[in-house]
Amino acid sequence: MSDLSWLTARPISHRGYHDLNIRRWENTLSAFDAAIAGNFAIECDVHLSADGVPVVFHDHKLKRLTGQDGNLCDLTAAELGELYVGGTQDRVPTLHQMLERVDGRVPLIIELKGNAGQDIGLVAEVGKLLSTYRGRAAIMSFDHWLVRRFTTDAPGVPAGLTALGTGPEQLEQHFSMLAHNLSFASFFAVELPNPFTTMLRRDLAMPVITWTVRDRRAYDLTAAHADQMTFEGFNPDAPEEVAALQ
């Protein structure tokens, strides 16, 4: 396994270092700029537009983030780029625009959002962009059909499983994904420790990051049972903000 110490070296800002969508909204260039200023790694979400372009956006539907009705997958990247996020001056960025903005200054962890029947080519398009990106970047997904394509469609890119659930069937599904050349896992923080993450760290020396740390319980579980956190809503470098977590 290649050296992934960069993946866990710094706290990971969830959808960029936004301010809980007050003035600086999630998955925007402004949130990514703030993460860079704080020297935080960036986690972001990527969908495929109607014309096959990876765009940075979390939801399948447009309403919560743009106020517009409809599905993201029905619009082209150019059409999405005309939509303002949260009433701010930020528009929906393409992954290419985001990579150009970050330009290798902090690590990226890119979560690919599956949309059955609408995401053909998503892994390949992301892999193509990352093949020429000079910074450190990894990909991950909840969606097993996408994880199965990581090795062939994004060769050489560190790949992870985003996961939750600790029941027997869920754990079996998590373990089954190890057949697909995973490099790390991102697990729901409040479900630590569990047999899957413990085995990854103890037996495979594989890093485990957590999502999403917003409170003291998730913070403490991550510190005890994982290698780094994906955080939101506080500054992990500010002792007073960490101490104030409830």
Tokens 């409170």 correspond to 215
Q: What was the pLDDT predicted at 2? A: 79
pLDDT per residue as tens digits for the range 89-130: 999 999 999 999 999 999 999 999 999 999 999 999 999 999
Cβ–Cβ < 8 Å for 219, 212? no
Residue pair 58/65 in contact (Cβ under 8 Å)? The answer is yes
User: Can you give the CATH number for the domain in which 135 is found?
Assistant: 3.20.20.190
- Residue 87's region, left for phi above 0, alpha for psi from -120 to 50, else beta, is left
The total number of structural domains in the chain stands at 1
| pTM summary value | 0.97
Distances from the Cα of 183 to the Cα of 138, 150, 212, angstroms: 9, 11, 20
Q: What is the pLDDT of residues 161-180, one digit of tens each?
A: 999 999 999 999 999 999 99
State which residues form the domain around 63.
5-243
The reported pLDDT for the residue numbered 1 is 59
Chain center to CA of 130: 15
In the predicted model, residues of the chain with pLDDT beneath 50 are none
